[in-house]
Amino acid sequence: MAKTHGPTDIKESALELIGNTPLLALDRIWPGPGRILAKCEFMNPGASIKDRSSLSMIQRALTSGKLAPKAPIVEVTSGNQGCGLAVVAAIMGHPLTLTMSAGNSPQRAAMMRALGANVMLAPQVEGKPGNVTLADVTEAENLGLKLVADTGAYYVDQFNNDDNSKAHEETTGPEIWRQTGGRVDAFLATVGTAGTFAGVSRYLKRKDRDIHCCVVEPAGAEVIKGDPITKPLHLLQGSGYGKVPSLFKFDTMDSTLGVSDEEAVHYKDLLGSKEGLYLGYTSGANVAACVKLLQSGKLPKDAWVVTLLNDTGLKYPADN
């Protein structure tokens, strides 16, 4: 007699593991009133939220004909976008070269290389290890643009690529709406390229204009708020570069909140000791800002506040 089998659920590649991350209640850090709900973006295969935009930007470039199949790709990164692109490039068969400031965490460079990418480190010109400024990013960008000019490779250009924010408008935002049953009082996110904040806030505002959308910035580098920069060096890698990103639009922003390095570290540590999650500094900053907003009195006492747990703590040097 022939064997019978049940239904299968087998993914064809790691690309199918991108997105549809769980929404987790952080009730141990914030027992109420109200609730902090966080998207577990560290569970993507490249271990960060940037996997979403990496897949979107490459798929759309292929569809439009800007990128040929198997053709070389170049991008400038602080590490997470590079890891996401390395996942996508490995599966799709694209040679990938990534330029990054030497001040970004070496763990990210190691991961990108392990995924098959060629990683070129630009020397720091202003910051120090773990603290990368706009000038350092510009140095990495100049290196990347020279490679594009010399080789003709496709330049992803995450800071100016609309397909970055479309990824979140089409996936992250709808997932949040579905997972909360349409109950979202506020959404908070740190801003690097602004792709995540722009895309998610655009989707949520279409669903309900009253959803409070708040930008989280490093204290002392709050350019979206409009304050002068007094602390260009901070721990929030991939965020707070000291200029308003081109993908950012003020029309979906209701407020901003500044978070100090100390607050980011405190809530990063609480995510570990209370919620069992070893995450990066922007995740700590996002949670710190959620607590501040809930304590501010600007929201109903029973508000559901949604944020993002952007990446794993394994992408950073171990704390001394």
Please report the pLDDT score of residue 200 as a whole number.
98
- Strand extents, DSSP E, 191-254: 212-218
Q: Which helix (DSSP H) or strand (DSSP E) does residue 98 occupy?
A: strand 96-101
Please report the pLDDT score of residue 320 as a whole number.
41
Count other Cβ atoms within 10 Å, centred on residue 95. 15
Distance between CA atoms of residues 278 and 272, nearest Å: 5
Stretches where the chain sits below pLDDT 50 are 320
CATH class of 50-155: alpha beta
Contact 72, 94 (CB under 8 A): yes
User: Apex CA 209: angle with CA 203 and CA 214, to 5°?
Assistant: 75
Averaged pLDDT of the chain: 95
Does a cis peptide bond (omega within 30 degrees of 0) precede residue 300?
no
Q: What is the pLDDT of residues 257-291, one digit of tens each?
A: 999 999 999 999 999 999 999 999 999 999 999 99
Instruction: Work out the burial of residue 14: count CB atoms within 10 Å of its CB; fewer than 13 is exposed, 13-18 middle, 19 or more buried.
Output: middle
The tokens describing 261, both together, are 């390095």
Residue 66, amino acid = K
The answer to whether the predicted template modeling score (pTM) of the entire model surpasses 0.85 is yes
Please report the pLDDT score of residue 1 as a whole number.
67
Please report the pLDDT score of residue 131 as a whole number.
77
Q: Distance from CA of residue 105 to its chain's centroid? A: 15
**CATH hierarchy code of domain 14-42+172-315:** 3.40.50.1100
Distance between CA atoms of residues 265 and 260, nearest Å: 9
Please report the pLDDT score of residue 319 as a whole number.
62
CATH 3.40.50.1100 domain extents, the chain: 14-42+172-315, 50-155
Please report the pLDDT score of residue 311 as a whole number.
97
Distance between CA atoms of residues 50 and 68, nearest Å: 22
Distance between CA atoms of residues 91 and 75, nearest Å: 17
